[in-house]
Every structure is written in C-alpha cells, then in structure tokens.
Structure 1
C-alpha cells in the first residue's frame, strides 16, 4: 500500500515538474522580451561613456574574449556530449553506477523493483545470496512481486567454484560459506515455487563471468573480477530498443543460449536432483545433488588418504638382507 501511494505521488510530482518547467520557460522569454528596450537604452548610455576611454575599451574587449572562449568551449563540449549520448542511446546504455554508495544502492533497488514488478525475471549470478536472499539485496523484494524467474547459478560442487573462492583469497569467503549461500538461495526458490510462482533454477559448471539481471525491457550488468568482490564492480543499465542492435539484444541472446544449453542441468526444486535434457527437452538422466556433493568430497578425501598407499621401503637394506634371509631359510630346511 505504501509503495503504491508513493509511486502515485512521485508520478504526480514528475508530471507537475514538467508542466512547471514549460511555464517557467514561457515566463522567462516574456520577461526578456519586455526588458530588451530598457537593456538597449542602458547599453547605449554605457557606450557613450566608454567609447573614448582606451583602458575601458581594452578591458571590455578582454572580457568579451573570455566570455567567447567560455561559450565556445561549452558549445564544443555540449556537441561532444551529445554525440556520446547518441552512441550510448544507440547501444541501449541508459545508466551507469560506478560505485555502490548507500544512496546509489537505494536507488538501484528502487529502480529494479519498479522494472521487475509483474514480470518474469532472468538472472545469471554466482551464489545468488547477495542478490535476492539477503534482505538488502537488489532483488530481495522483486521476487515477491514477479510472475516467475529463470535463474542460473554456479554449481557449488564443481571445480570452478573452488577455483573462484581460492582466487579471491578472502578469509570470509570459503567454499563451505559459498555452498551454504547456494543452499539458502535454493530454499528461497523452493518457497517461491510453493507460493505458485513459475521458478526454474539451473546450475552451470564454468567460472562466473558476468552478473546479469533482465527485468522486462531493462538489463542490469556487472562483471565478475578474478579477485574482487562483485559489490566493488560498476553496474551498467541497458534498455531494449526497437532497432534490435543494442547491447540489450546481445546479452539477452547470450542468456537464452546459456539457458537452452544441454550441458547445464536443471535443478528440480522438489526432488533436489539435477535433470539433464536433450535439445528437444526430453529428459535423459537425473543425478542426486546432495549425494553428488558427498561423493566428490569423499573422492577428494580418498585422494588425500591414498596418495602413497604403500609403506616406505628401504630398497638398499632389503637387497642386503635377501642373502641372509635365503641362508637362514636353507639352513632351516636342512635341519
């Protein structure tokens, strides 16, 4: 209720601001037109006093030169900014957040909530915890208002997840913590599915490259750095245009290719199984997700325990003892 009222008030203020802007421009132009005769009269009076004073003329010329330089520089910069804005508009780039300040974080969350309400959202991420599990995440409230979700997360049992955690080298980001974050994300998606939302989850095995959120006609993009936290990376916002040559189309096509890949299994939120399908959508096989993790852990433990299964032997001593052993054995047989 509060969000609906605030959205209505903000829409009214935005429309009223546009109307007030047009009224101000009309009033300003009328005032300038009325003051032109008085201004011309004052200028002629001023010129009659300084036209024979060389020092005043030189000062006035220098002032006019400085003003011309400032105005021409502003015009040049405006033309350049307009050309860059045209390039950004053609590419579909509408916003850029270089740093996650508290004010920017609040603004990002607010925009995502507006763009994702009543839509099917599509997400590519790492663990998903900081995105929609954490209460201050960007999509923590969006998932409650969306129609459905298609989510791609990293398989925590793969080798790439371990390599990613080791590369970051952060004491708080361990493999056990990462797997716990994945588990909490899965629990959240299970609750959303129980509420009747069309939620699907897939787990990919390769290292995370980008964090991407598609909310209708808007696409939010971040880059996963090798050894930096995703919260420290800039975030770009792209919008779909009718010409279909922007970056939105490129990344949306990338998501569809990843989602339809037969190498990425779907996570069954009811049975906790990884489901592999063919290109036609036919189910090929299933693998238990938890047992797979336990098998990999036991396999890793077995490798550590069986690196050198045989006890160390002193080959030189054994070769020296062989004749003695044979001699003792022959004497015992003779006896």
Structure 2
C-alpha cells in the first residue's frame, strides 16, 4: 500500500515538474520571437538566449517570468492540464485493457456467476431459484450432485432442490459421504454436529432417492470414503461449485457457476470430468 502511495506522489511531482518545464520552454519561445527583438537576426537571438541561460539560469528564468507573467502562468496551466489529461487517458486505456483481459479470461473459463454464500434468503446469496429453473429446463436431461449429507440441498422438505428433484425426469446421479466412514464422523465433528445426527441426515437423503427409484425415476447413487472437498451440482450446461472448508458449513462457502462454452475449454468440462472420475472411484460403494 505504501509503495502504491509513493508511486502516486512521484507521478504528481513528475507532472508538476513537466508542467513547469513546459511553461519555461514556452516563455523561451516567446523571447525568441519577441517583436521587440525582430531587428536582431534570428540566430543571433538564439545565441544571446543561450549565453544568458548558461551564465545564470535562475536569473534568466526569473526575468522570463517578469517579462511574460501572464503567458508563462497560462502556459503552465495549459501544459499541466494536458499532462493530467494524458495521464487520465493513459490510465483509462490501461484499465480498459486489463478489463478486456479479465473478461476474455472469464469467458474462456466459462465463469457465469459468483456469490459469497449459498444460504437461502440471504442478500447476495446464490440464486437457488435460477438453479431450479436450469434443472427443470426441458432440454436438460442430466443432474449430477456431489455433496456431503445432502440434507440441506435436496434431502428434506424445504431444501432448495427438494421439489425440483422430485419433478425431474432426466438422469440423476448422486454421490454422498459414506454414513459409516471415519472421515464422515470427522466432518460431523468439524462442523459441530453429532455423528449420529450427521449419519441420520445422509440416510434421510438416501431414503428420498430410493423412493424416487421406486417411482421409476432414473436415479443412481454412490458413497465416497474420504473427507468432503467439492460440492458440485451439474446440469447439461452449468456447474455450481463450492468448497467444503474445514470447520464451516458449506452453505457459508462462496458459490461459483461455470457454464459450458462452444469449444469445450471451460472449467465446466473439467468439473464434469472430475465428477465422472469420482463416480468411477466409488464403484464399490453403491447406494442401492
């Protein structure tokens, strides 16, 4: 912060010095083309001015100010104004260039949105209604969910995806933490929840998925043994991503939305591929 402040101060000093130098040069030009000296040959005038500057630069500069006070002051103001304008234009150009680079990177990465948390009802939180609309979109036939216990995502009535999941007629694949693993108990302790309650939350979410299977929904599920890392909700064209930070419920973590793009280079495809990798790795822990 101090270095940035020092740079700004140096810029202001440099602009001021340039304005003074510009005003001095302007006054010298006025002296060169002074009508009172028109009888003296041009090169002779230049020679006289050069000698005067070399003899006593300060006295010469003060004499210029006395001879042309208004013009010198006005030239300093004008040149200073132009220098400030140039600096503003240069900075704006640089800012626009940086903004263009950032926009290009965001488009290339497929960043479609960012929110500070996923707490329903909080100002500025992730728009669950938009995600539900994306899942329910007629063209969307895929829903992939990677989570911890699923209870606050879809497992209980009132959870953001509870209703849309039951109405969804596409393929659903869900990966949750294994209810009996030591890592799951560790996660429960980390967020201040009793292990038995955390396990009950998982079994409640699984019961909902099992009930959907009985209703002939295309639902499949698996468990993983490790600690929760990523929370993913992926459709055919968007991925909603969060990270399970230690000691914090995931709804307090920032939410990133990545959208698929035409060339397949965005992060959406990387997270979709990561889901598939985790799915294959959990083959031995079928949910049903």
Asked if 1:152 corresponds to 2:172, the answer is no
- Find 2:204's aligned residue among 184, 205, 208: 184
Q: Which residue of 2 aligns with 1:114?
A: 133
Q: Paired residues, what number? A: 213
CA displacement, residues 139-174 of structure 1 (integer Å, 9 cap, x when unaligned): 234313322310000111111111222333x2xx11
Relative contact order: is structure 1 or structure 2 higher (C-alpha 8 Å, sep ≥ 6)? 2
**Residues 192-203 of structure 1: pairs in structure 2 closer than 5 A:** 192-203=212-223
Compute the TM-score of the two structures, normalised by the length of structure 1. 0.57
Unaligned runs of 5+ in 2: 1-69
Asked if 1:130 corresponds to 2:148, the answer is no
CA displacement, residues 250-300 of structure 1 (integer Å, 9 cap, x when unaligned): 2211211222236442122xxxxxxxxxxxxxxxxxxxxxxxxxxxxxxxx
CA displacement, residues 166-225 of structure 1 (integer Å, 9 cap, x when unaligned): 333x2xx11111112112212222333344321112111121111011011101111111
CA contact (8 A) 1:93 1:239 kept: yes
C-alpha distance in 1 between matches for 2:118 and 2:233:
17
Where 2:91 maps in the other structure, the secondary structure is: helix
Q: Which residue of 1 aligns with 2:266?
A: 246
Q: CA RMSD in A?
A: 2.4
C-alpha distance in 2 between matches for 1:60 and 1:130:
65
**Residues 79-118 of structure 1: pairs in structure 2 closer than 5 A:** 79-100=97-118, 102-105=122-125, 108-117=127-136, 118=138
CA offset at residue 67 of structure 1?
Answer: 3.7
